[in-house]
Structure 1
Amino acid sequence: MGLGDKIQNKATEVTGRVKENVGRTTDNPDLEAEGQAEQAKAGLKQAGEHIKDAARDITGRH
């Protein structure tokens, strides 16, 4: 996984966490759910990138 991808995924995760917390604090369930969805999306992207990295490590391809 490239550094840019890692940074972008982490930024999406952090943005989602902020939205979730703001939604919870302001009693806005839609915003809270949107934040949770963004965090899940970022987590899935990170997992996919980790799988790609592991496959590259196993095959020796970069």
Structure 2
Amino acid sequence: MSFTDKVKNKAEEIAGKTKQGVGEATDNERLFAEGQAQEASAHAKQAGEHVKDAGRDVKNALS
């Protein structure tokens, strides 16, 4: 995973957590749900990148 991808995914995760916090503080269920979805999306992207990295590591180990 490139450094840029890591930063983008982390920023998306933080934005999602922030939306959740604001939604909870203002009792805005829609904003809270958007934050959860955004955070989940960031986690899925991070997991996909980890799988790619693991595959690359296995390939390099076998070479």
User: Do they fold alike, i.e. is TM over 0.5?
Assistant: yes
Pairs within 5 Å for 1:17-28: 17-28=17-28
Match of 1:39 in 2: 39
Is 1:51–2:51 an aligned residue pair? yes
Query: Runs of 5+ in structure 1 lacking a partner?
Result: none
Larger Rg: 2
Match of 2:16 in 1: 16
Any idea what SS the aligned residue of 1:27 has? coil
Percent identity over paired residues = 54
Secondary structure class of the residue paired with 1:41: helix
What is the alpha-carbon distance in structure 1 between the residues aligned to residue 58 and residue 50 of structure 2?
Answer: 12
Question: Take 1:60 and 1:31, find their aligned partners in 2: how far apart are those partners?
Answer: 43
What is the CA RMSD across the aligned residues, in angstroms? Answer: 1.1
Determine the structure 1 residue equivalent to 2:4: 4
